[in-house]
Amino acid sequence: MRLRSASLVALFLSLAALAACGNPINVRARQDALKIEIAKATELGAKDCAPEEFAKSQAQMDFAIIEIEQGDYIRAEDHLEEGFRMAKAAQRGAKNCSRAIVVKATPKPTVVVVLTPTPKPTAIIILVTPTPTPVVIIKETPTPTPTPATPTPTPDVTKIDSDGDGTPDLQDDCPGDVGPLANRGCPVRDADNDGVPDGNDECPTVPGFAAFKGCPPPDKDKDGVVDSADNCIDQVGPVTNKGCPELKFIVINKETKRIELKQTIHFASGKAIILADSFGILDEVAKVMRENTTMEVRIEGHTDSDGPATANLALSKARADSVRAYLAKSGVGPARMRAVGLGETSPLGENRTNEGKSINRRVEFHITKD
């Protein structure tokens, strides 16, 4: 007996829980009912008379559709309830509002005959005169009209919603396709599935970002590194090198405006003769300068402090000249390069140690024009 009552309680609780989760069938039925209420409000002219309430009811309907699509029937019900409240308020507002019928004046008077769907045919004739200000005259005639005698009830066009998307056909630009009211009843199309609707997407077939109007970010050299992150927007280069060409011996540092060398240029001891093991470095510098035709550089020669300063100055100048000559021979216009010798005046390391001296014996490339 105890087991039986426990089972009954469990069953009751399960049913209660199921009811609390929102019943899809009930929600759909209420959605249809709200559609009818909104259509009634539309018919009463609520859009003009109670625009706020009318807009709210339509928005709530849209949100309910969204929630149903998401499978959240409880939230859908909340929206439907609010939608009902607003639709009713809109209807009340419309009933209290005298609807102004504005008929545009036409050059020739026109006659419009409207049949009311009552058992006895009654015709309302609306005469429109071509005066500067539109005038509406309404006459009621109890006699039958010459138009077809049997007054078949005309369907209420304001209620028709062919695709059942909640947007009446009158307001639905796509009556055959399901779409939210916000999009005038048309489905929101997004061919490239990038979250930017095709209507706002300047690249509808290429996934992109809203910030770029649905297009991918600009990448001038098409190297896969977007321009904003590309240090060399005109040259193909990997992302690991910030979009710049991968160079073996040098790095173009646009922040410090330097062509940085990964290896030192070697010269014959005490002379300005470039050793063959440094040709590769200079060839790479020449290549970059040939590709960047506007680039201009200052070639600086530096020495350590061994020996007389004047001799060091002369040697550094000679070495800078030597580098300039090599680059000129490799196809770089001499006018784009200026060679200066700074001797031992700008040391980077300690001149007391061999290591420091080695650092101080160097050639630097400073970019003076990009």
Partner 1 sequence: MTRSRVFRSLALVSGLLLLAACGPSKSTQALFKARNAIQVAEVADAAKKRPYELTLAKEYYVKAKEEAGYSKFELSEKLAKQALEFAKVAAGETSPVATPIPDDESK
Which lies closer to partner 1 via its Cβ, residue 100 or residue 111? 100
The answer to whether 85 and 33 have CB atoms below 8 angstroms apart is: no
β-pairing, 250-253 with 110-116?
unpaired
Candidates 176, 195, 217, 331; binder of partner 1 (CB under 8 A) is 195
Residues 111-140 contacting partner 1, CB under 8 A: none
Q: Is 257 left (phi over 0), alpha (psi -120 to 50) or beta?
A: left
What's the closest the beta carbon of residue 215 comes to partner 1, in angstroms? 15
Angle (CA) 269-271-281 rounded to 5° is 80
What's the closest the beta carbon of residue 25 comes to partner 1, in angstroms? 25
What's the closest the beta carbon of residue 195 comes to partner 1, in angstroms? 7
Q: Total residues at the site for partner 1 (CB under 8 A)?
A: 29
Which lies closer to partner 1 via its Cβ, residue 69 or residue 277? 69
Buried/exposed 135-146: b ≥16 CB within 10 Å, e otherwise: eeeeeeeeeebe
Partners of 362 in the β-ladder: 302
What's the closest the beta carbon of residue 307 comes to partner 1, in angstroms? 52
* Residue of 227, 224, 243 lying closest to 235 (CA atoms): 243
β-pairing, 122-128 with 258-261?
unpaired
Residues 164-193 contacting partner 1, CB under 8 A: 170-171, 173, 182-184, 186, 188
| DSSP code per residue over 194-233 | SSS-GGG-SSTTS--BGGGTTBPPP-TT-SSS-GGG-S-T
Residues 201-220 contacting partner 1, CB under 8 A: 210
Site string for partner 1, 50-89 (x = CB under 8 A): -xx-xxx-xxx--x--x---x-------------------
Which lies closer to partner 1 via its Cβ, residue 128 or residue 315? 128
| H/E segment holding residue 253 | strand 250-253
The rounded distance, in Å, linking the Cα atoms of 216 and 232 is 18
What's the closest the beta carbon of residue 93 comes to partner 1, in angstroms? 12
Six token digits for residue 158? 């304001």
What's the closest the beta carbon of residue 303 comes to partner 1, in angstroms? 46
The rounded distance, in Å, linking the Cα atoms of 241 and 248 is 11
Which lies closer to partner 1 via its Cβ, residue 169 or residue 283? 169
What's the closest the beta carbon of residue 160 comes to partner 1, in angstroms? 14
Q: Which range, of 23-31, 42-50, 125-133, 358-366, touches partner 1 by CB under 8 A? A: 42-50
Candidates 47, 257, 290, 366; binder of partner 1 (CB under 8 A) is 47
* 224 belongs to the binding site for partner 1 (CB under 8 A): no
What's the closest the beta carbon of residue 134 comes to partner 1, in angstroms? 11
Which lies closer to partner 1 via its Cβ, residue 184 or residue 262? 184
Residues 94-113 contacting partner 1, CB under 8 A: 100, 102
**What would the 3-class secondary structure string for 88-146 be?**
HHHHHHHHCCCCCCCCCCCCCCEEEEEEECCCCCEEEEEEECCCCCCCEEEEEECCCCC
The rounded distance, in Å, linking the Cα atoms of 108 and 131 is 10
Which class for 163: exposed (0-12), middle (13-18), buried (19 or more C-beta within 10 A)?
A: middle
The rounded distance, in Å, linking the Cα atoms of 41 and 88 is 8
What's the closest the beta carbon of residue 102 comes to partner 1, in angstroms? 5
In the complex, which residues of this chain contact partner 1 (CB under 8 A)?
45, 47-48, 51-52, 54-56, 58-60, 63, 66, 70, 100, 102, 170-171, 173, 182-184, 186, 188, 195, 197, 199-200, 210
